[in-house]
Amino acid sequence: MKREVTLQVNGEPYTIIVDTRETLLDALRYRLGFMGPKEGCGNGNCGSCTVTLNGAIVDSCLVFAVEADGAEVTTVEGLAVNGQLHPLQRAFIETGALQCGFCTPGFIMSAKALLERNPHPTEQEIRLALSGNLCRCTGYDKIVRAVMAASEALARAA
C-alpha cells in the first residue's frame, strides 16, 4: 500500500509516495538521496541510522516513513551550513575520531542532540549519550574526546 508523506528534511520541504511498510531510513536514502544515515543492523541496535525527528534522536530504521508525515527531520547532511562544518564535524576530523566512517553520521547526530540539551556534558554523560551507537573500528576514546572538544568550541563561539 502506498501513501503520500510530506516532511521537512534539513529545512527543505518534500512530498513523497512511500510504501506503508517502508522505513524512514529507506525513504531518506532511496526516495530522497540522503545517504548519510546508514543501515548497520536494521534493528535499532547499532545507531548508524540516527537522525533527529522533531528534535528527538531516533533510529530511523525503527520509524516508518509514514510516521514522519508532517515532521522535521535532520540528517548529518544538514549540519554544515554553506560549506562551513559544524564544530562536531571539525572536532571529529581533528581528533581522528573515525576510521571507516560508516558509524560516524550516527555518532555525530547523537552527539549533536546531547550538546543541544546539555552543552557541557561530563565524560560519563557523553559515554551514556553515545551508548546507542556502535563503532567497530576505532573504539570510542577519540569519539568521546571529539565531543568534548566540540563542546568547548561551541562554548567559545557562544
Q: Rule CB under 8 A: is residue 98 a binding residue for another protein?
A: yes
Q: Is 43 in the site for another protein (CB under 8 A)?
A: yes
Shortest reach from residue 44's CB to another protein, in Å: 8
| Per CB under 8 A, 73 contacts another protein | no
The candidate with the shortest Cα–Cα distance to 97, out of 67, 135, 70, is 135
Question: Does residue 36 touch another protein according to CB under 8 A?
Answer: yes
- Signed CA dihedral, 140, 143, 145, 148: sign only: negative
All cell numbers assigned to 65: 516513513
Asked if 125 is part of the footprint of another protein (rule: CB under 8 A), the reply reads no
Grid cell, residue 82, equals 554553506
Decide if residue 39 touches another protein (CB under 8 A).
yes
- Under the binding rule (CB under 8 A), the answer on residue 87 touching another protein is no
Q: Which residues of 7-29 are buried (b: 16+ CB within 10 A; e: fewer)?
A: bbbbeeebebebeeebbbbbbbb
- First CA to last CA distance, the chain: 48
Does residue 32 touch another protein according to CB under 8 A?
no
Residues that bind another protein in the complex, under the rule CB under 8 A? 19, 21-22, 26, 29-30, 34-43, 45-46, 48, 75-77, 79-80, 85, 88-89, 92-94, 96, 98-105, 108, 126-128, 130-131, 133-144
